[in-house]
Structure 1
Amino acid sequence: MKRFNCRFLFIILIIIFSVSINFTQTKNTPPCSSLEAKQFDFWVGNWVIYWITQTGDTAYGSNNVQKILGGCVINENFSTKGAQPFNGKSYSVYNSTKKIWEQTWVDNTGAYMSFTGKFENGKMILSREVSGKNNTKILQRMVFYNITKTKFDWDWEYSKDNGKVWELNWRLHYVKHKNG
């Protein structure tokens, strides 16, 4: 009986010790410090953006992307100039509970879009589902790829067959501004 009590007490002490170490490590870990929460850091900076329009002209824009709220949120400020200026903002955060990235986009046309996704195989892919004509399901996604410290490409794609075939809507080329 004494032997059983000693073993039981020993097991309880090990459990308490393990839980207290885990709690201390969790308590001292800063929020948004995981490697996954840094996967979008390549996007932070001031960017010059260019793309080819449907008429074959080259169009330009800018994007200022910064970390806010203690480094937990990535804030995008996109703008174009011209006859019809286009301005938009997005907020991206890594959801450590769901193990996905979540992004909300809003712009001066009144658009609101919500995306989720992951960084895999050197690409950040964020997607959403929308209803098309006659309630057909359309998938839309953004793909960040060819990522280096000074440039990357961004595609907006859609699929009408549940992701079997993706078609390109437009492609943007990001080049880091010399001031950062």
Structure 2
Amino acid sequence: MKKFILLIAVACYANILQAQKLPCSNVVYRQFDFWIGEWEAFGINGKKAGDSKISVILDSCIILEEWTSASVQSGLRYAGKSFNTYNAATKQWQQTWVDNAGGTNEYLQGKFENNQIIYSSTPFNFSKDTMAIRKMTFTNLSHNKLRQHGEISKDNGVSWSTEYDLEYRRKEKG
């Protein structure tokens, strides 16, 4: 009889856990998990650009990036954080970037396709007479490597110029 009661209690507990499923446990929230980890980022010239630690926070709803540049410029080691999440209402990936130089970028449109997360910004004033759009693509190349490619268009997406092109290499655990 005790075993039967224990079995019933375990089954009820399992049902409670299933009913209390985390809000961001849907598989769509895991599309960007290939970025999670600790990375060294290198420019196309092979020179180290920085280090990036990517973790999951807030009950798996946010992918947090913590970036630090490899070099110091004008007495400042550039650093920033990005907050990445899937917006279930708009069915879009979104990123907000903030840094220690007072800069911010916001990408409200993002999609997962072909093993990539592709973000795009809304048009913004680049200069007095020029509107621009930014696009940022994360490509999962392997478990230990990915590409982050940042581009800008000053003609409403007709042509694109590279702003940065980084290869992320997973740090070995040691």
Give the TM-score normalised by structure 2: 0.80
| Alignment-mate amino acid for residue 166 of structure 2 | L
What is the aligned partner in structure 2 of residue 40 from structure 1? Answer: 32
**Match for residue 102 of structure 1 among 69, 94, 101:** 94
What is the aligned partner in structure 1 of residue 141 from structure 2? Answer: 147
Cα distance between partner residues in 2 of 1:131 and 1:27? 47
**Residues matched between the structures, number:** 153
Q: CA deviation at 1:146?
A: 4.5
- Per-residue CA deviation, residues 100-155 of structure 1 (Å, 9 max, x unaligned), is 11111110101111112111222211121221223422010111114321101111
Q: Which runs of 4+ in 1 moved over 4 A?
A: none
Larger helix proportion, structure 1 or 2?
Answer: 1
Q: CA deviation at 1:40?
A: 0.9
**Match for residue 60 of structure 2 among 71, 92, 112:** 71
SS at match of 2:71: coil
Mind listing any 5+ residue stretches in structure 1 that lack a counterpart?
A: 1-25
Compare CA radii of gyration and give the structure with the larger one.
1
**Match for residue 113 of structure 2 among 117, 120, 123:** 120
Kindly, what percent of the aligned residue pairs are identical?
36
Say if 2:92 and 2:111, in contact at 8 Å, map to a contact too. Answer: yes
SS at match of 1:76: strand
Give the TM-score normalised by structure 1: 0.77
| Alignment-mate amino acid for residue 170 of structure 1 | Y
**Match for residue 137 of structure 1 among 122, 131, 143:** 131
| Alignment-mate amino acid for residue 69 of structure 1 | L
| Alignment-mate amino acid for residue 113 of structure 2 | E
Mind listing any 5+ residue stretches in structure 2 that lack a counterpart?
A: 1-17
SS at match of 2:172: coil
Larger strand proportion, structure 1 or 2?
Answer: 2
